[in-house]
Amino acid sequence: MPTESRKFRRRCANALRFLAIDAVQAANSGHPGMPMGMADIAEVLWRRHLKHNPANPRWADRDRFVLSNGHGSMLIYALLHLCGYDLPTEELKRFRQLHSKTPGHPEFGMTPGIETTTGPLGQGLANAVGMALAERLLAETFNRPGHKIVDHYTYAFVGDGCLMEGISHEACSLAGRLSLSKLIVFYDDNDISIDGHVQPWFADDTPKRFEAYGWRVVAHCDGHDVDSIEAAIRLARTATGRPTLICCKTMIGFGSPNKGGTHDVHGAPLGSDEIVNTRRQLEWPFAAFEIPDDVRAGWDARTRGEAAEYAWDANFAAYRNRYPELADDFDRRMRGDLPSDWQDHVAALMEVFGKQTSAVATRKASQNVIEAIAPILPELLGGSADLTGSNLTNWSGTRPANREAGGNYVNYGVREFGMTAIANGIALHGGFIPYTATFLVFSDYARNAIRMASLMKQRQLMIYSHDSIGLGEDGPTHQPIEHAASLRLIPGLDVWRPADAVETAVAWTTALERRDGPSCLLLSRQSLPALARSAEQTANIARGAYILREAEGRTPGVVLIGTGSEVALLVEAQAMLGQEGIAARVVAMPCTRRFDLQPVSYRQEVLPPTIPTLAVEAGHPDLWRKYVGPNGAVIGIDRFGESAPAAELYAYFGINVASIVGQARRLVGIA
């Protein structure tokens, strides 16, 4: 880029400021202060350093940019618009309006060039850690001497709110241990949050905090001086084996003569009078949404982006010529496709699992699935929140990823929230299918990141073992009661609670085949018996619910629904009821959401609305009432657990055959 005057560069930054000001004013809603304060930083980064192609927002080797302080969304919308992405002025004018491409917070999949959905503070930063980790591991897998096909940076903007959130500690502490040298984070140090000056509640020595994590820190950067910003970025891009935090001193609402530097400009329009004053202050004599031609031309990144991708394409062509199999695998993984012979492997897996007759904990069955599929699915990137030996998420080929070398497994430490948000970043980057793990009860720590995975429709598998009171002696702090029901409430989230090894295998393979959202697998600590099935029944597992045992030769008088460890109890209860002349159907429902998506005809075939229905699950009962109806019944647990051996707990809480038989009798009118 030719040498430009500081005045022109400030005008380029002011274009960002006024697009944000004008859009927030038009919407009468939004956050103009951050875009005004970080505009100069954005100008240096996006016009001088960011590698991207507006014509192809999904180019594999583009730099990733994450706006973690997502309330300042108009900054990235202005950037995308000016750089030449498919985001016309009309969409800026529709900021925060229904079905616009400029929602209140950036949303992945809605706006070209948005890498992740941000808004819940701190999670974008954790996503960026995941993206940087994915870049590093892909580079170590695919790059060869003279052929660097994976070579890009991950940049993130964060505010003080992001750094106050606990997830920032979880993610950044781990990032410092993983040698993520191509992660560069800009901290918008403006001393302001919604409630005012942050000193009374946020007086951390942020540079020392990040130095303690093992980061390189640029402690003093003038966020309104292009030379200071430029020098900081150039330093950050010199390899040290450490991520970099650039502490940028800025003024929120820069340019506003009466509101700049105050919380008044954080989350409200400037108002027409102050906009006039700001235009005068910054010498911007243009109408709302008007960008002068020279500034628009100075921002246009299409030619540079096309040239950058063209150069990469030439490099990749040479790479393909030298390493054709690696090139094909890279393409496949970045597309998110499973191997071409995937269904053959699934068929072989199901044949093996279908022949098993011994009881096995579903957590162990899950490990057996990983052992079978991981060798043919190198994109699997596992991990656990310090519970690998309990979650059973490792396999014989596990290689821990650490600061010295890449691998296929991340030891996340006790960081459930950070782990899940980092895995979201890994999934968003592409090239990997992440799976993470902890105890089900600790999914609460990760809940907002689980929600974000579903909101963004990302393929991530979350393994939650110790799924019920069946974990026993650890007691109520570790016994999930409400967790299965609560997770099932998250839109778009597949929650699987398999009854045996076969259902576990189907849950795994279905989750891997799913490309439009995440899946949770709730797995038992205790061994569960293998259940006999026909081929048709096995195929129907993927439909979320199916008839496992039909009432022999008769129309059922009662339907018994169960999941997980309780399905075997239903099979026993069916036999006892049959001896009493009560015909019972047993329905296994490993995934309620998938069942809810089936045609009405199938759902009514499995659960006839005219037959009394009893649901049994060792968890909170309320969700099951929609399946049993007003005349049905639910056996569950609506209080916290107790510390005792598992068998005693099931008896104590009435999750047993006797209770099932007794309740079924009552449903059919037998006292």
pLDDT higher than threshold 90 for residue 404? no
**Model pLDDT, residue 667:** 97
Residue 671 has pLDDT above 70, yes or no: no
Cβ atoms of 393 and 370 within 8 Å: the answer is: yes
Q: Is the pLDDT of residue 2 over 70?
A: no
Q: What pLDDT sits at residue 375?
A: 97
Q: Residue 251 CB: number of other CB atoms within 10 A?
A: 19
pLDDT at residue number 1: 58
Q: Are strands 519-522 and 461-465 parallel, antiparallel or unpaired?
A: parallel
Sign of CA dihedral 510, 513, 516, 522: positive
To the nearest whole number, what is the mean pLDDT of the chain? 97
Q: What pLDDT does residue 552 have? A: 82
> Residue range 515-537: average pLDDT?
97
Cα dihedral angle (110, 114, 116, 121), rounded to 10 degrees? -100
Contacts with 315 (C-beta within 8 Å, 6 or more apart), sequence order: 147, 148, 149
From the list 107, 309, 416, 503, the catalytic residue is: 416
Cα–Cα dist 411/619, whole Å: 30
Q: Distance between CA 667 and CA 450 in Å, rounded?
A: 38
Tell me the backbone φ, ψ of residue 44, rounded to 5 degrees.
Answer: -65, -45
Residue 527, SS3? Answer: strand
Chain segment 314-332, per-residue pLDDT in tens? 999 999 999 999 999 999 9
- DSSP run (H or E) holding 248: strand 244-249
Query: 363 with 384: CB under 8 angstroms?
Result: no
According to DSSP, residue 62 is labeled P
> Is 283 considered catalytic here?
no
> What is the pTM (predicted TM-score) of this model?
0.98
**What is the average pLDDT across 375-396?**
98
Asked whether the CA dihedral 424, 429, 432, 433 is positive or negative, the reply is positive
pLDDT the model gives residue 405 = 84
pLDDT in tens, 466-478: 999 999 999 999 9
Tens digits of residue pLDDT in 84-95: 999 999 999 999
Interval 581-613: pLDDT, tens: 999 999 999 999 999 999 999 999 999 999 999
Statement: residue 208 has pLDDT above 80: yes
Residue 282: band (very low, low, confident or very high) from pLDDT cuts 50, 70, 90: very high
pLDDT digits (tens, 9 = 90+) for 12-57: 999 999 999 999 999 999 999 999 999 999 999 999 999 999 999 9
